[in-house]
Chains A and B, each alone.
Chain A
Amino acid sequence: MGAFLYGVSLQWKLDIRSKTLLITCYIVPLLFFAIMGGIFTSVLPEARDTLIQSMTVFGVTMGALIGLPPSLVEIYSSDIKKVYKANGVPLYLGIALTNISAFVHLLLMSMILYIAAPLAFNAQIPKKPGMYFIFLAIFIVVSLSIASIIGLAVKDQAKTSMFSIIVFVPSTMLSGIMFPVEMLPPIFKTMGKAFPASWGYGLMTDSAFQFDKLLPLSVIFVLAVCLCVVLLHKIDK
């Protein structure tokens, strides 16, 4: 247990030192919030009602999909995985540590948005903060599971960025955080349902338990975990 906790705290420090996660989890989402928050609320005043949720979905999606995969590529596409094996450490430890660290970073960023949005743009605080944070945690976990697939499946950093962006752009554009989903053409509306951002945004906006929105996230998560297990086995060969 001591080794695991030391590993978590070390991974936390490494993520801050590497700056990739720092930029994708904090700097870009908060900068986006500062600019787009101002634009959204002045163009469309009712955007204040969902500003926290939309900025959080953007930040979590970006931090998970673009921030996490490079850390996984560093571990699993290099000799670092041999270090794990040579010391009798299970290979899944790398993915566990990086995910826990990223989860904490994304939760922190989301809390900053939760506090800053009402102060800066008079944004509406979710009606049920407890439920909001539970749904936020679920959304972060599911987003990280998708990011883990990219990090394990792709072998080099340049290609990782490409695949991350391929998933990130439709996730944010089709999720309803930029403009109402109802305005999208039916095909894009359907496509958007394949990404966790749409369901996460829906859950956090409603702040009420809705099984029909939780189920797709659960299915995406289970499928992603299964795929990660398969990829880890492939790496272990």
Chain B
Amino acid sequence: MNEAIKISSLKKSYGTHLVLNGLDICVRQGEVFALLGVNGAGKTTLLECIEGLRKYDSGNIAIIGKVGIQLQSASLPGHMKALEAVKLFAKWNKVALDNTMLGALGILDFSQKQYYQLSTGQKRRLHLALALMRNPDILFLDEPTAGLDVEGRVSLHEQIRQLKEAGKTIILTSHDMAEVENLCDRMAILSGGRISFIGTIKQLNETVGKHYTITIQTESGTGKYASDNIGETLLALLTEYREKGETILDIQIDRGSLEQHFMKIAKGE
């Protein structure tokens, strides 16, 4: 698969605080790529360096294709109407208004509302429409579903899937691990200014281990056991219980969640 973005040895500091310490990342064309990290890990700084909104100290960023950026809320004047924003962006980017795209995102339903009157979901959709205005190859989404209700979240996830199907490369930041698991092909976890992990969710699970928790309930009580090798541990436990002559009433097996794996890497636990 061809590269859409290639970042090498990227460094950025604020004063004496080194935020990005020699990052190397490659994003492939057509994939949905997540940038993860705890607050202050440097996600937004990295995203803004790639987007060209922030200058970096050293390193190289190569971007192949047209870029569209969905900014977070509060990035338009409060009294600007949705349609006025769309028209302004169309004029800036020298493109015609795409009523099909505006209709699909539901912008026409609130086109005469001023920005401050829009709900969080409407603002997100408007920003997505503005980002799509010049038909970009690469789309940056900064916490696209933050503050949205369930309906808004589901709707936006569907739109992101459709954009992926249309061949767009999407880079997003998120704090929602379920969202990352559902939408993203690969992810990078930032920690201490470096990339602690880069790969698929399957690779993440393999990297940090399976971390199963086995709960066995018997007549005499409940026992909890942690394991990275479910087959061997379960077999050994069943043998042990049989030798003791205890009757097993229930067995529950929990797999470590993506959140736990993320925390383990992001916080170096």
Closest chain B CB from A174 CB (angstroms)? 35
Q: Within 8 Å CB of A74, what residues of B?
A: 77-78
Cross-chain contact A14 with B53 (CB below 8 angstroms):
no
B75 contacts which of A6, A10, A82, A88 (Cβ < 8 Å)?
A: A82
Q: Within 8 Å CB of B111, what residues of A?
A: none
Tell me the dominant secondary structure on chain B's binding face. Answer: loop
Cross-chain contact A237 with B91 (CB below 8 angstroms):
no
**Interface positions of B from 162 to 202, Cβ below 8 Å from A:** none
Cross-chain contact A87 with B79 (CB below 8 angstroms):
no
Known: A6-B87, A10-B80. A83 touches B71 (CB 8 A): yes
Q: For the complex, is B39 an interface residue (Cβ under 8 Å from A)?
A: no
Closest chain B CB from A170 CB (angstroms)? 31
Known: A83-B76, A85-B52. A10 touches B71 (CB 8 A): no
Q: Within 8 Å CB of A85, what residues of B?
A: 52-53
Q: Which residue of B has the minimal Cβ distance to A89? A: B92
Q: Which residue of B has the minimal Cβ distance to A80? A: B75
Interface residue total, chain A, C-beta cutoff 8 A: 22
- 0 or 1 for each of A211-233: is its CB under 8 Å from B? (1 = yes): 00000000000000000000000
Closest chain A CB from B163 CB (angstroms)? 18
Q: For the complex, is A78 an interface residue (Cβ under 8 Å from B)?
A: yes
Q: Within 8 Å CB of B80, what residues of A?
A: 10, 14
Closest chain A CB from B95 CB (angstroms)? 11
Q: Within 8 Å CB of B91, what residues of A?
A: 2-3, 6-7
Q: Within 8 Å CB of B77, what residues of A?
A: 14, 18, 74-75, 80
**Interface positions of A from 72 to 102, Cβ below 8 Å from B:** 74-75, 78-80, 82-83, 85-89
Q: Within 8 Å CB of B79, what residues of A?
A: 14, 17-18
Closest chain A CB from B141 CB (angstroms)? 13
Q: Which residue numbers of B lie inside 8 Å of A, CB to CB?
A: 48, 51-53, 55, 69, 71-72, 74-80, 84, 87-89, 91-94, 114
10 extra A-B contacts, CB within 8 A, seeds A74-B77, A80-B75: A6-B91, A7-B88, A14-B77, A79-B74, A80-B77, A82-B48, A82-B71, A83-B76, A86-B51, A89-B92
24 A-B residue pairs with CB within 8 Å: A3-B92, A6-B87, A6-B88, A7-B88, A7-B91, A13-B84, A14-B77, A14-B80, A17-B79, A17-B114, A18-B77, A18-B78, A18-B79, A75-B77, A78-B74, A79-B74, A80-B75, A80-B76, A85-B52, A85-B53, A86-B69, A86-B71, A87-B93, A88-B92
